[in-house]
A = this chain, B = another copy of it.
Amino acid sequence: MQFKVSIVGGGNFGTAIAKLLAENVLNLKSYSPEITMWLYEEYINEIPLTQIINTTHINTKYLPDIHLPTNIRATSDLKELNDSDILIFVIPHQFVKNIINQIKGTLKKGVISVSLIKGVIYSNGDIGLISKYISNTLNIPCGVLMGANIAIEVAKGYISEGTLSGVNDKEGIIIRNLFNSNIYRVSIVDDLWGVELCGTLKNVVSLGYGICKGMGCGLNTCCAVLRNGLVEICNFYKLLGKGKDCTLFESCGISDLMVSCLAGRNFKAGEFIGKKISLEEIKEKMGGQQLQGPDTAKEIYEYLKGKGKEKEFPLFTTVYRVCFENELPDAIYCCISPKSISDQ
């Protein structure tokens, strides 16, 4: 039997991952040689994007410079996922509930899945994982794969690492072998919460890093913000009683935090915020690209406030206040080794 692999999501990261897997499966006997990539249909000059991808082998909207292998087949029909053995979820987190509800009850028995989605689900004062939501709603196993993976670099075949978690030994090997190659190197760790939280919280830190950069700070200051952010991620693990410190040394931890701070979308938004440009204007400037940092900062702040712990997370709290409560960007300076100031 060969595993049939489908990717749910055809944005820039989904497309980059489709290319990686389509190249990998050609060298692997256990996986069907065709990769299905589902995407929400869009029209470019009235031509469906799926049709453009299937005929030109280029995702002209999201990854226009990359030629895709011909064994990727794009579709906008969720029914085509029905015979998949492995589902890879790579969609913006605000679309998760809608799509998961549409495919509920339609999947093949024994399907396994992995989420590359960054974000958490905050409701009723509690933090939940997207991978758990997928797993519980569809009643299938769902792991998580995160890492320092700028989409265009993965698409270009630059060497990258990823961290896989939330899988048992058997699933772990099936998923790891699908992704693993000389250009994409997968490590498996036993810490689903830690891996998935990293991917979420880094967006708040990278906003903070961007704010500093936008105010004209040097590297010493920006890196101090990143470091204090890393410490707050670590302390957030402790507050939740979930996540292992050692996971922060994995690709999903410090590496992903670093690339997000240096080149991510939230970093860029942070730079504008540091220049006192409003969130609304920034969203316009970014041409409708989804920004997850501010929403995450809000969710995390609400969670912390609910626990009366917001003062113990000065960076997370300040990023929220700068985004939503007219706090001035330079309030962020108080988050850098704050103890050493107050001790004086």
Residue among B160, B219, B333 making CB contact with A221, cutoff 8 Å: B160
Q: Check A182/B341 contact, CB under 8 A, given A219-B259, A249-B234.
A: yes
Residue among B185, B218, B223, B259 making CB contact with A337, cutoff 8 Å: B185
**For the complex, what is the distance from the CA of A44 to the CA of B185, rounded to whole Å?**
53
**Mind listing 22 A-B residue pairs with CB under 8 Å?**
A153-B220, A156-B218, A159-B217, A161-B220, A161-B227, A176-B340, A180-B340, A180-B341, A182-B341, A185-B224, A185-B341, A186-B340, A187-B340, A219-B258, A219-B262, A220-B259, A223-B255, A223-B258, A227-B251, A227-B254, A251-B337, A254-B254
Chain B nearest CB, measured from A205 CB (Å): 12
Q: Does A231 contact B (CB under 8 A)?
A: yes
A220-237 at interface with B (beta carbon < 8 Å): 220-221, 223-224, 226-227, 230-231, 234
**For the complex, what is the distance from the CA of A66 to the CA of B3, rounded to whole Å?**
65
Contact code string A302-344 (vs B, CB < 8 Å = 1, else 0):
0000000000000000000000000000000100110111011
Q: Does A206 contact B (CB under 8 A)?
A: no
Q: Cβ of B251 and Cβ of A224 under 8 Å apart?
A: yes
Instruction: Please give the count of copies of this chain that the complex contains.
Output: 2
SS class, residues of chain A in contact with chain B: helix
Contacts of A263 in B (CB 8 A): 219
Q: Cβ of B187 and Cβ of A153 under 8 Å apart?
A: no
Q: Does A158 contact B (CB under 8 A)?
A: yes
Residue among B153, B223, B344 making CB contact with A259, cutoff 8 Å: B223
Q: Cβ of B340 and Cβ of A221 under 8 Å apart?
A: no
Q: Does A113 contact B (CB under 8 A)?
A: no
Q: Does A148 contact B (CB under 8 A)?
A: yes
Contact code string A259-277 (vs B, CB < 8 Å = 1, else 0):
1001100000000000000
Q: Does A154 contact B (CB under 8 A)?
A: yes
Contacts of A245 in B (CB 8 A): 245
Number of chain A residues whose Cβ lies closer than 8 Å to a Cβ of chain B: 49
Chain B nearest CB, measured from A65 CB (Å): 14
Q: Does A149 contact B (CB under 8 A)?
A: yes
Q: Cβ of B258 and Cβ of A224 under 8 Å apart?
A: no
Contacts of A259 in B (CB 8 A): 219-220, 223
**For the complex, what is the distance from the CA of A177 to the CA of B333, rounded to whole Å?**
19
Q: Cβ of A161 and Cβ of B224 under 8 Å apart?
A: yes
Q: Cβ of A337 and Cβ of B221 under 8 Å apart?
A: no
Q: Cβ of A148 and Cβ of B223 under 8 Å apart?
A: yes
Chain B nearest CB, measured from A303 CB (Å): 22
Contacts of A185 in B (CB 8 A): 224, 336-337, 340-341
Contacts of A337 in B (CB 8 A): 161, 185-187, 251
Q: Does A150 contact B (CB under 8 A)?
A: yes
A171-216 at interface with B (beta carbon < 8 Å): 176-177, 180, 182, 185-187
A340 to chain B: closest residue by CB? B185
**For the complex, what is the distance from the CA of A145 to the CA of B263, rounded to whole Å?**
30
Residue among B159, B180, B220, B255 making CB contact with A149, cutoff 8 Å: B220
A133-150 at interface with B (beta carbon < 8 Å): 148-150
Chain B nearest CB, measured from A276 CB (Å): 19
